[in-house]
Amino acid sequence: MTKARKKLLIVDGYNALRSGSRYTHLHDNPDYTDDVLNKSREALLNDIIAYMGHDFAEGIIVYDGGANELSEGSDERIGAVRVVFTPAGVSADKTIEKFAHDARNRGWEVLVVTSDAGIQDTVFGGGVDRMSAEGFSREAEHMARESMLDAAPKVAEKRTVEGRIDPAVAEALKALRDSL
């Protein structure tokens, strides 16, 4: 029996927030304050955690800090998700491609979420699966709706003997009861 390979989910963070319809309303405010960005990042993180479920061993969100001269790059782990801000001069694209390539070399199955055609072409050429940011957004929305339906209170169905037996038998029993 073959051993199941570990799965890694890599998400192009800012690309998902800009291109995924589930997140665009979160940063409609043109102010782009830290609070607005943090709210958007938190929503994406929560969706990634839910999407990973039991199928993915790890997840990585890569945010591009390459154009920010002050970015020293940071790496934080939240459960099974690693949140990476690239340092100044290092693009998210190259970082995502490197993570995907390294994971494939270790024998992992990899799924990259981005709408960046360059990243998609590069990782797909290396045997990595890809999903658009909008595709991920729709999947996350679907999962959220399903979760809400599962959590909705259900009215208990009254279970009686009459409801579980054949209607002809129920009629015969009623006739017997009425004849007594």
61-104 confidence digits (pLDDT tens) = 999 876 677 777 788 999 899 999 998 888 889 999 999 999 99
User: The pTM is what?
Assistant: 0.75
Give the model's pLDDT for residue 103: 93
pLDDT for the residue 19: 87
- Give all domains of the chain, ordered by start, each with its CATH number: 7-179 (3.40.50)
- At 128-161, the pLDDT tens digits run 889 999 999 999 999 888 877 766 666 667 777 7
| Euclidean distance between CA atoms 104 and 126, whole angstroms | 8
